[in-house]
Amino acid sequence: MQNNAIKSQHEIEIILRAVEVVDNTFDELLNFFKEGVTEIEVAEQISKIMKSFGASDLAFDTIVAFGENGAEPHHVPTCRKLRAGDFVTIDMGAKVSGYCSDFTRTFAFRRAEGELKRIYDVVRYAKILAERELKEGADARYIDTVARDYIIENGYGEFYIHGTGHGVGTLIHEEPTLNQKSVKKLENNMVVTVEPGIYIPSLGGVRIEDMFIVGKSEPLSRHKTELFIL
């Protein structure tokens, strides 16, 4: 049976718990980063922390990407060791009482320099522009257009290689899909992600993702999106 895109108050409360698990996990995870730690070790640590905060499972396989590996949006963690100057992308989700959360942050380890710093600002602002349009009656496709046009204007259009967001519920990817193929309109109490990204082969990438309830302006996560250096 197709899941309902519009969530009940009860469903929203559970989803908020799944978001809180990931928020708490991210806080604790930041203590784990040190030079030489591998992507696989970080991913394993995420699983442990998430479960300690009450997740029954991961919502999907965690993505941990260091440096050049950030150029793959769906990177599978490897033995790549963390080095100073790497940008780090973490994309993770918790499952709580059958509902999912989905959260991505990119940050810099020890120092932030070069083109990825500029790319970060482009992605962050594309996300802000898109999330402002999450209103009842908006075309789901338009949310993608807003983010995509801004990234194109800044010269990175060919490096934005996925849609801007998707619904989240008992499945990690549900309706409505926020991409150029979508024909849905947004309605209040749909729960969606906004997650633009830019991916430059052999350099790396930036993705920033938050979940939103259509009709509410604040993201569900309490973590800010300004670039930080760990």
Which residues are at the interface with Mn ion (CB under 5 A)? Answer: 102, 193
Q: Which two tokens stand for residue 227?
A: 């670039």
Nearer to Mn ion, 11 or 102 (CB): 102
Cβ contacts of residue 9 below 8 Å, gap of 6+?
none
Rank residues 11 and 195 by Cβ distance to Mn ion and give the closer one: 195
Residue at shortest CB range from Mn ion: 102
Nearer to Mn ion, 182 or 193 (CB): 193
Q: What share of the chain is helix, strand, coil (3-state, %, to 5)?
A: 35, 25, 45
Smallest distance from the beta carbon of 110 to Mn ion, in angstroms? Answer: 27
Beta-carbon neighbour count of residue 148 at 10 Å?
20
Shortest Cβ 209–Mn ion spacing (Å):
5
Nearer to Mn ion among residue 59 and residue 146 (C-beta): 59
Q: How far is the CB of 123 from Mn ion (least distance, A)?
A: 14
The CA–CA distances, whole Å, from 220 to 128, 168, 194, 212, 217 equal 14, 12, 11, 6, 9
How near is the Cβ of 7 to Mn ion at its closest, in Å? 16
In 3D space, the residue among 72, 61, 192, 95 whose CA is nearest the CA of residue 134 turns out to be: 192
